[in-house]
Amino acid sequence: MSRRLFALVIVALVASACGNNQLGRGVPACPADPEVITSVTGSMVLQMQAVDSAEYVPCLNDLKAGWSYEDLVSSRGKSQFWLDSDRLGSHFVEVTLAASCDVGGAPELTTDGVTGVTEFRDVNLVSSTVTMVIVPTTGREADYARAIESELEARQINDRQVFVVFDTSDLPLTEKVAAAAERNRPIIIVNEQDALDRTATLRMPDDTSSVRGLKLPQLFDRLESRLPDPSFTGRWYRVFEGGCITYEFDAEGPGVDRLADDVEDALGLFPAGVVRRAMRSAGILG
């Protein structure tokens, strides 16, 4: 630790120790400059006490519009806090600090991060957009197929914007269905009789059979009942000397596509080990 940082940490800790009315109440805010720590909130101290071996504890850089922080809950060996959102739901992410964690089969993140911190991520994103495939079996029902396209792209289904692609290739229909299923895309098949009856055939990617003769309102109702809402679920892990932070996501609604980047911006790491060593040197911590 630099002499300047050490001195600033001592000043911050003495001020924090004198201001006991802040303990347990302040948001665990990240320092604007990790080399210049000018304050340590009560929430930060509680996290450092809960897992006194952790080199880092979670902190907040900023909150996005519509986000709010839930108060810290700490006990010996663990601390937790939550973030709420008016768009993504209550407790859309739970942040847990512990001495260790089981990352299971979560793959390691290979991009550069904080020195001494290894990250693992195992998440599932259901995007706020969905692509569907329309297959006119001949060219004679093209106008009707385009009308279905216009209807679909003019609406949202379960808060998901719809995009349509046409498959007019010469491949057999079975191969077109298989290709759509492989990309997790619903497929709408239109033949000449459908064009006359104003109906369509729907095949969902995880189904083994198609539903035929659907009027357009029935088609849209079935898509709404089968397509999942946009969501971001799963866990991130940050593992480091003496501790681990788990971020558990249960987010649903608009904004999930940007959530990973937004959380990376919002949640940081506070150098608890540096501060703890400064506290011991200052005689504040035994």
Measured distance CA(120)–CA(118) in Å, rounded: 7
Higher pLDDT, 13 or 142: 142
Q: CA-to-CA distance for 130 and 143, rounded, in angstroms?
A: 22
Give me 87's structure tokens. Answer: 């768009």
Nearest 5°: the CA angle 121, 123, 243 is: 35
pLDDT higher than threshold 80 for residue 16: no
> Closest Cα partner for 36 from 265, 238, 274?
274
Average pLDDT value for residue range 4-12: 46
| pLDDT for 197 beyond 80 | yes
* pTM of the model as a whole: 0.82
pLDDT above 70 (res 217) = yes
pLDDT digit string, tens, across residues 237-270: 999 999 999 999 999 998 999 999 999 999 999 9
Question: What is the reported pLDDT for 66?
Answer: 94
1.10.8.60, 3.40.640.10, 3.40.190.10, 3.40.50.800: CATH of 129-226: 3.40.50.800
Maximum Cα–Cα distance across the chain: 86
Residue 13 has pLDDT above 70, yes or no: no
Residue 7's pLDDT band (cuts 50, 70, 90): very low
Decide if 61 contacts 263 (C-beta within 8 A): no
Q: What is the mean pLDDT of the chain?
A: 88
Please report the pLDDT score of residue 14 as a whole number: 43
d(CA 4, CA 285): 20
DSSP secondary structure of 55-80:
S-EEEES---TTEEEEEEEEETTEEE
Q: What is the pLDDT of residue 250?
A: 98
Q: What value does the CA radius of gyration of the chain take, rounded to a whole number of Å? A: 26
Q: What is the pLDDT of residue 50?
A: 94
Count of Cβ atoms closer than 10 Å to residue 241 Cβ: 11
Determine the pLDDT at residue 70: 87
pLDDT reading at 23 higher than 70: no
> In the predicted model, is pLDDT for residue 223 greater than 60?
yes
pLDDT tens, 158-172?
A: 999 999 999 999 999
Average pLDDT over residues 154-183: 94
DSSP tag of 142: H
Residue 285 pLDDT class (50, 70, 90 cuts): low
Which tens digits make up the pLDDT trace of 91-148?
A: 999 999 999 999 999 999 987 778 899 999 999 999 999 999 999 998 899 999 999 9
What are 56-92's pLDDT values in tens digits?
999 999 899 999 998 899 999 999 999 999 999 999 9
Q: How confident is the model at residue 3 (pLDDT cuts 50, 70, 90)?
A: very low
> Residue 83 forms beta bridges with which residues?
69, 93
20 has pLDDT over 50: no
Q: What is the pLDDT of residue 112?
A: 76
Domain boundaries, the chain: 3-125+230-282, 129-226
37-47, pLDDT tens digit by residue?
A: 767 778 888 99
